[in-house]
Chain A
Amino acid sequence: MRALLLIAPLLAFVLITFVMPIADMLFRSVENGIVSDILPRTSAAIKDWNSQGVDDLPHENVYRNLLVDLTIAVKRRTQTRVGSRLNYEAAGISSSFRRVGRGLRSFNTEPYSNYFIHQDENWGDTGYLEQLFSNPRISAALPSSASAFRTWQTDFSSDQIITPDDFVFVALASDLSTLANDKVSDLGIDSLRTAHADIDQLSTSSIKHMFIEFDKNWGDVNLWKTIKTFSPRYTDGYFLNAVDLKRGIDGVERRDQSERIYLVLFVRTAVMSLTITVLCILLGYPVAYLLAHLPLRKANLLLILVLLPFWTSLLVRTSAWKVLLQQEGVINDILVTIGLVDDAARLVMINNQFGTIVAMSHILLPFMILPLYSVMKTIPPSYIRAARSLGATPFTAFWRVYFPQSLPGIGAGSVLVFILAVGYYITPELVGGVKGTFISNRIAYHISSSLNWGLGAALGTLLLVAVLILYWVYDRIVGIDNVKLG
């Protein structure tokens, strides 16, 4: 208990600054509140719509609810957010939303308020409506209009206005037209019964037509499908997107050739990280061996050289590789000078995969050398001696006796390097060009530029899961107990 108290500050710190943001980020990969938050009535109304063909548009009531939702959204200035969210899924939607938001005022919705007020003066009185909707049975039977009226009261009304805006009546019309006769009778309100009887009259001033006339995109089945697909609160859309799939007309399907980018990136990230890991083993093993077998004083000096990169900025190191590798860079200059390479055909060694692999192998090398070194230091020289005395040549002694015992070091180093490489971001960004970037660069792009956090989170989650699976497989094959870091 006391131990728990002692670590409490650290625990709280880690929880608040690390675990919670990550959990939040992971949650964003499935969370999809925007559509249902901003277009709640539309989302509810569109649930029953299943398009049978290109001409099978949603019902009039869906449009009515959209008008209500959009009117409120425009008031709250949130309609562009729905647009941009849906735009990730189908390009062009955001402009439809932007335009309709601006043009909503020109829609002729007066017939709706007139219809009700001409039947009964009371409909124009806020007090009457207030009393009506305070009855829970009525609010439950007329959900759209009840919530629309309340929103109107809080966001739109002022002391001077006693008649609600038209959109409240549009909502009322939508609610009433979906109710059956007996249901309305059950409510026992005469004015509702009267209004319900003739509600079909209002189809002459169709909101649906107004939308399509204003912008023919609103008569496009695909636009509505997108809205319907992304109206639930949770979505697998980001994950599908992250593996180059999408939810098409007939369920999940692959994206168009031109839009497939993430799988390629995942594979590239894995292959390049693997290359870097192998390179680090090949380069790091001899160094670690030397370190472990040199006299202490020399070994320490060498260790400092190995650690030196840690003391210089990552940016400096990466930029140094730029200086070395670019076409007018040091290496090309030398190659040209000694005549190995023609001046006109200088090698392209940066802003491609080669550049990324070289720079990252250099940067990650210490993470391979250090665990290797610490494992090798624990291998007593008597093993090699024993092998030699038993008749093994120096190579056989190394290969059959020393190397197997240094495997835990290789394992630890590889896990470390690979996991670091898979998530690396700065170096590929700087020296990777187009062909040498990693999935993490794409994640960063979505987090900070395109602001598609959901997709960024989905990509990040996939990366995390991939690493965890790898870790698990590794544990299965090698055994994590066999990994020694020191």
Chain B
Amino acid sequence: MTESDNEFVCFKNVQKSYDGKILVVKDLNLSIGRGEFLTMLGPSGSGKTTCLLMLAGFETATHGQILLDGKTINNIPPHKRGIGMVFQNYALFPHMSVEENLSFPLEVRSMGRSMREQKVKHALDMVQMSEFATRRPSQLSGGQQQRIALARALVFEPELVLMDEPLGALDKQLREHMQFEIKHLHERLKVTVVYVTHDQTEALTMSDRVAVFDDGIIQQLASPDTLYEEPINSFVAQFVGENNTLTGVVEKIDKSSATVRLDSGDMISAMPVNIHKSGERTQVSIRPERVETDMKRLPEGGYTISAEVLEFIYMGDVFRTRLKVAGNDDFIVKSRNSPDQSRLTPGETIKIGWLPQDCRALDA
């Protein structure tokens, strides 16, 4: 990979303010490689769409530079950027048929008729929508409209495709199916995709890398597994995946381990992530599936603590148990439904345990 392949899209110190007072995007630095699938994940209002609009050219950056393939594009109008875009509401032109919608980007590029027809057909085949060519968008279901929108963004073969919550309006099952399809298209066409969502499962399953946004800042930029297993602050830990938190004060800290006095008085040891000195308040984070309720399975060196069972939920593939641990009565444990797994009854007091390296001490 050359330098420019690693930096196909590049935000450099980009800031954006709509009203001149509040910065919606604060000092964004982000490089996206050629062919990468990058997801911007974040809560509502965190500035994801704004970033996408700046990249597409519909909003201008208040400060900073945006580069595409090594060239600054700040002053290039949207229609000359050659970036495909899929909108949350699809934005299919209601007065044109599916065919005409797909043909539109080719027509404005003055492509010949036979060439156009061929490409439109190819794009429709790609999303398995050939038999709907003559329909109006209003005569299609949400999922079908979604496919057409996708085909339209790809039909003129852009190198970069932006998608702003493209699956937001679909039901769960269809959404999962479409995630899979988009992912496959990405792999086949080798386009670069910048994808916006506030659904963390979607982000984790589809992306090469995920940028977690909050408050106009990238909180963490990492691959899905790193993001899930090694969140670098409590926002990311909370936002990505399910998470148990115990609050306390740092008692003692060195490079690879820290001792935390929980608010209940218990002392636990944890991995220090972004705490720096003793006396600091901290949130300790443990994933529900890393907590063991059966002491026989707890590996050597595990930490144990007593807990009261509040609720037991049978979910088929997993058991979900709500416990009261160190004053936190919303402590969740997930255990696999295996033959030897014990089913807990509410009211009993048990011992639970985890490994100190699964227990991350983050900022409060």
Hey, which bits of chain A sit against chain B, CB under 8 A? 380, 382-383, 385-394, 396-397, 400-401, 404-405
Q: Is the interface of A mostly helix, strand, loop or mixed?
A: helix
User: Contact: B58 with A391, CB < 8 Å?
Assistant: no
Interface centre among A382, A389, A394, A401 (most CB of B within 10 A): A389
Interface locus among B90-98, B257-265, B354-362: B90-98
A385 CA / B56 CA spacing, docked (Å): 9
User: Contact: A383 with B79, CB < 8 Å?
Assistant: no
CB-based nearest A residue for B94: A405
Interface locus among B81-89, B175-183, B197-205, B248-256: B81-89
Q: Chain B residues near A388: list those with CB within 8 A.
A: 57-58, 77-79
| Interface residue from A385, A391, A392, A396 paired with B91 (Cβ < 8 Å) | A385
Question: Known: A382-B87, A383-B93, A401-B93. Is A389-B78 also a contact (CB below 8 A)?
Answer: yes
Interface residues on B, range: 20 to 34
Q: Chain B residues near A386: list those with CB within 8 A.
A: 85, 87, 91-93
B80 to chain A, nearest CB (A): 8
Hey, which bits of chain B sit against chain A, CB under 8 A? 56-58, 77-79, 81-85, 87-89, 91-95, 104-105, 108-109, 152-153, 156, 162
User: Contact: B109 with A391, CB < 8 Å?
Assistant: yes
A177 to chain B, nearest CB (A): 80
Q: Chain B residues near A393: list those with CB within 8 A.
A: 79, 108
Q: Chain A residues near B84: list those with CB within 8 A.
A: 389-390
B75 to chain A, nearest CB (A): 15
A394 CA / B58 CA spacing, docked (Å): 12
CB-based nearest B residue for A388: B78
Question: Known: A401-B93, A405-B95. Is A387-B85 also a contact (CB below 8 A)?
Answer: no
| Interface residue from A382, A385, A396 paired with B108 (Cβ < 8 Å) | A396
Q: Chain A residues near B87: list those with CB within 8 A.
A: 382, 385-386
A380 CA / B91 CA spacing, docked (Å): 8
Q: Chain A residues near B95: list those with CB within 8 A.
A: 404-405
A388 CA / B84 CA spacing, docked (Å): 10
User: Contact: B89 with A380, CB < 8 Å?
Assistant: yes
User: Contact: B109 with A382, CB < 8 Å?
Assistant: no
A463 to chain B, nearest CB (A): 34
B274 to chain A, nearest CB (A): 39
8 new A-B contacts, CB < 8 A, other than A385-B91, A391-B105, are: A385-B87, A386-B85, A386-B92, A390-B105, A391-B79, A392-B105, A394-B77, A405-B93
Question: Known: A389-B56, A390-B108. Is A382-B89 also a contact (CB below 8 A)?
Answer: yes
Interface centre among A391, A393, A400, A401 (most CB of B within 10 A): A391
User: Contact: A400 with B104, CB < 8 Å?
Assistant: yes
User: Contact: A391 with B85, CB < 8 Å?
Assistant: no
A37 to chain B, nearest CB (A): 60
